[in-house]
Chains A and B, each alone.
Chain A
Amino acid sequence: MTSIRKNKVFMGLLYILVFLLLSEWLRPVIELTATGHHRLFLAFVALGLVMAFFDVPWWITGPLKLFYILWFIVYVYTGNLFFTAESLAFVVEQASISLSALFSQDWQATTDVFRTVLFFALLWMAIYLIHYWVSFRLSIFLFYLLTVIFVAVLDTFSPYSGDAAIVRIMVIGLLLAGLLHLARWMERHGAAAKTDKLLVFSIPLLLLLVSSTAFAFYLPKADPIWPDPVPYITSYSGKGGVGQGGVGRIGYGVDDSQLGGSFVSDDTTVFRAEAEEGQYWKVEVKDVYTTKGWELSEEDADEQLYQNGDEVTTDFPPAGEERSSALVDMQLPFPFVLYPYGTASFLMEETLDYRYDPVQQRFDTLQENTAFEPEVYEVFYSEPSYSLTALRETDTQQLAELPPEYDRYLQLPDELPDRVGELAEEIAAGSDTVYGQAQAVERYFGTNGFEYSQSDIAVPAEDQDYVDQFLFETQRGYCDNFSTSMVVLLRSLDIPARWVKGFNEGEVIDTVDGYDVYEVTNNNAHSWVEAYMPGVGWMMFEPTIGFTGASSIDFDLEIDTSEPEEEEMPDRPEPEPEAQPEQPDTGAGADAGPTAGERFLAFVSEQAGKLIAATIGLLLFAFMLFKIRKKWMPKVLIPYYRRKEADAETFEKAYLRLLKQLELYGIKRSPGQTLRSYAEYVDSFYGTKEMTELTAAYEKSVYGGDAQSVDWPKLKESWENLINRTSG
Chain B
Amino acid sequence: MKATERLGKVIDNIEKVIIGKREIAELSLVALLSHGHVLLEDVPGVGKTMLVRALAKSVGADFKRIQFTPDLLPSDVVGVSIYNPKDMQFHFRPGPIMGNIVLADEINRTSPKTQSALLEAMEEASVTTDGVTMQIPKPFFVMATQNPIEYEGTYPLPEAQLDRFLLRVKMGYPTREEEIEVLTRSQSIPPIEELESVLTLEELLKLQEEVRTIRVDDTIRTYIVELATQTRRDPYVYLGVSPRGSIALMKAAQAYAMLKGRDYVTPDDVQHLAKFVFGHRIMLRSEARYDGITAEELTERIIAKTRVPVQRLVNQ
CB neighbours of B267 from chain A (8 A): 674-675, 703
Flag whether A137 is at the interface (Cβ < 8 A). yes
Flag whether A57 is at the interface (Cβ < 8 A). no
Chain A, residue nearest B216 (CB): A703
Partner of B316, one of A1, A672, A705: A1
Contact A703 B265 (CB under 8 A): yes
Interface residues of B in 290-316 (CB under 8 A from A): 303-308, 310-312, 314-316
Most B Cβ at <10 Å: residue of A656, A673, A703 = A703
Minimum C-beta distance from B224 to chain A (A): 12
Interface residues of A in 612-671 (CB under 8 A from B): 652, 656, 659, 670-671
Contact B268 A676 (CB under 8 A): yes
Contact A703 B304 (CB under 8 A): no
Chain B, residue nearest A1 (CB): B316
Contact B310 A675 (CB under 8 A): yes
Q: Given A652-B312, A656-B311, is A674 in contact with B217 using a C-beta cutoff of 8 Å? A: no
Contact A705 B305 (CB under 8 A): no
Alpha-carbon separation in the docked complex, A186 to B267 (Å) = 27
Alpha-carbon separation in the docked complex, A498 to B265 (Å) = 90
Alpha-carbon separation in the docked complex, A617 to B182 (Å) = 75
Q: Given A188-B314, A704-B215, A705-B217, is A675 in contact with B264 using a C-beta cutoff of 8 Å? A: no
Partner of B304, one of A670, A699, A705: A670
Minimum C-beta distance from A725 to chain B (A): 20
CB neighbours of B305 from chain A (8 A): 671-672
Contact B219 A702 (CB under 8 A): yes
Minimum C-beta distance from B305 to chain A (A): 6
CB neighbours of B310 from chain A (8 A): 656, 659, 675, 702
Contact B268 A1 (CB under 8 A): no
Contact A702 B311 (CB under 8 A): yes
- Majority-rule SS of B interface residues: loop
Interface residues of A in 179-224 (CB under 8 A from B): 184, 187-188
Chain B, residue nearest A706 (CB): B264
CB neighbours of B314 from chain A (8 A): 184, 188
Map CB proximity to B onto A138-153 as digits: 1 under 8 Å, 0 otherwise: 1100000000000000
Most A Cβ at <10 Å: residue of B218, B304, B310, B311 = B310
Partner of A672, one of B217, B266, B306, B312: B306
Contact A138 B306 (CB under 8 A): no
Flag whether B118 is at the interface (Cβ < 8 A). no
CB neighbours of B264 from chain A (8 A): 699-700, 703-706
CB neighbours of B266 from chain A (8 A): 674-676, 699, 703
CB neighbours of A583 from chain B (8 A): none
Q: Given A137-B315, A674-B267, is A702 in contact with B217 using a C-beta cutoff of 8 Å? A: yes
Flag whether B271 is at the interface (Cβ < 8 A). yes
Flag whether A474 is at the interface (Cβ < 8 A). no
Alpha-carbon separation in the docked complex, A675 to B312 (Å) = 13
Minimum C-beta distance from A677 to chain B (A): 7
Alpha-carbon separation in the docked complex, A670 to B305 (Å) = 8
Minimum C-beta distance from B257 to chain A (A): 9
Minimum C-beta distance from B301 to chain A (A): 9
Contact B304 A704 (CB under 8 A): no
Interface residues of B in 156-184 (CB under 8 A from A): none
Contact B315 A672 (CB under 8 A): no
Flag whether B97 is at the interface (Cβ < 8 A). no
CB neighbours of A704 from chain B (8 A): 215, 217, 262-264
Chain A, residue nearest B270 (CB): A674
Chain A, residue nearest B272 (CB): A674
CB neighbours of A675 from chain B (8 A): 266-267, 308, 310
Contact A674 B268 (CB under 8 A): yes
Minimum C-beta distance from A112 to chain B (A): 43
CB neighbours of B52 from chain A (8 A): none
Chain B, residue nearest A672 (CB): B304
Chain B, residue nearest A187 (CB): B315
Chain B, residue nearest A184 (CB): B315
Flag whether B220 is at the interface (Cβ < 8 A). yes
Contact B311 A705 (CB under 8 A): no
Alpha-carbon separation in the docked complex, A684 to B307 (Å) = 23
Most A Cβ at <10 Å: residue of B220, B265, B268, B312 = B312
Alpha-carbon separation in the docked complex, A423 to B310 (Å) = 76
Q: Given A656-B310, A702-B312, is A1 in contact with B217 using a C-beta cutoff of 8 Å? A: no
Contact B215 A705 (CB under 8 A): yes
Q: Given A188-B315, A671-B308, is A677 in contact with B263 using a C-beta cutoff of 8 Å? A: no
CB neighbours of B217 from chain A (8 A): 702-705
CB neighbours of A187 from chain B (8 A): 315
Alpha-carbon separation in the docked complex, A652 to B310 (Å) = 10
Alpha-carbon separation in the docked complex, A603 to B78 (Å) = 97
Alpha-carbon separation in the docked complex, A671 to B307 (Å) = 4
Alpha-carbon separation in the docked complex, A706 to B263 (Å) = 10
Chain B, residue nearest A670 (CB): B304
Chain A, residue nearest B262 (CB): A704
Minimum C-beta distance from B199 to chain A (A): 26
Minimum C-beta distance from A675 to chain B (A): 6
Contact B311 A703 (CB under 8 A): no
Map CB proximity to B onto A664-708 as digits: 1 under 8 Å, 0 otherwise: 000000111111110000000000000000000001101111100
Chain A, residue nearest B217 (CB): A703
Map CB proximity to A onto B217-253 as digits: 1 under 8 Å, 0 otherwise: 1111000000000000000000000000000000000
CB neighbours of A706 from chain B (8 A): 264
Minimum C-beta distance from B255 to chain A (A): 16
CB neighbours of A137 from chain B (8 A): 315
Alpha-carbon separation in the docked complex, A672 to B302 (Å) = 8
Chain B, residue nearest A137 (CB): B315
CB neighbours of A188 from chain B (8 A): 314-315
CB neighbours of B303 from chain A (8 A): 672
Partner of A674, one of B262, B271, B312: B271
Chain B, residue nearest A675 (CB): B310
CB neighbours of A138 from chain B (8 A): 315
Interface residues of A in 118-145 (CB under 8 A from B): 137-139
Chain B, residue nearest A698 (CB): B310
Interface residues of A in 564-616 (CB under 8 A from B): none
Contact B218 A1 (CB under 8 A): yes
CB neighbours of A671 from chain B (8 A): 304-308
CB neighbours of B262 from chain A (8 A): 704
Alpha-carbon separation in the docked complex, A672 to B219 (Å) = 14
Alpha-carbon separation in the docked complex, A702 to B311 (Å) = 7
Alpha-carbon separation in the docked complex, A659 to B311 (Å) = 11
Most B Cβ at <10 Å: residue of A659, A672, A704, A705 = A672
Partner of B308, one of A184, A672, A700: A672
CB neighbours of B306 from chain A (8 A): 671-672
Alpha-carbon separation in the docked complex, A355 to B219 (Å) = 87
Minimum C-beta distance from B232 to chain A (A): 18
Minimum C-beta distance from A137 to chain B (A): 7
CB neighbours of B312 from chain A (8 A): 652, 702
Alpha-carbon separation in the docked complex, A705 to B267 (Å) = 14
Alpha-carbon separation in the docked complex, A137 to B315 (Å) = 7
Chain A, residue nearest B316 (CB): A1
Alpha-carbon separation in the docked complex, A676 to B268 (Å) = 7
Map CB proximity to A onto B29-68 as digits: 1 under 8 Å, 0 otherwise: 0000000000000000000000000000000000000000
Minimum C-beta distance from A609 to chain B (A): 46
Minimum C-beta distance from B174 to chain A (A): 26
Alpha-carbon separation in the docked complex, A137 to B215 (Å) = 27
Minimum C-beta distance from A242 to chain B (A): 57
Ordered by A's residue number, 21 sampled pairs between the chains whose C-beta atoms are within 8 Å are: A1-B218, A1-B316, A184-B314, A184-B315, A187-B315, A188-B315, A671-B308, A672-B306, A674-B266, A674-B267, A674-B268, A675-B310, A676-B266, A700-B264, A702-B311, A702-B312, A703-B220, A703-B265, A704-B217, A705-B264, A706-B264
Further 18 A-B residue pairs, CB within 8 A, beyond A671-B304, A702-B217 = A1-B218, A188-B315, A670-B304, A671-B305, A671-B306, A671-B307, A672-B271, A674-B266, A674-B267, A675-B266, A675-B308, A676-B266, A700-B264, A702-B310, A703-B264, A705-B215, A705-B217, A706-B264
Question: Which 7 A-B pairs rank lowest in CB-CB distance, beginning with the nearest?
Answer: A704-B264, A672-B304, A671-B307, A674-B267, A703-B217, A674-B268, A676-B268
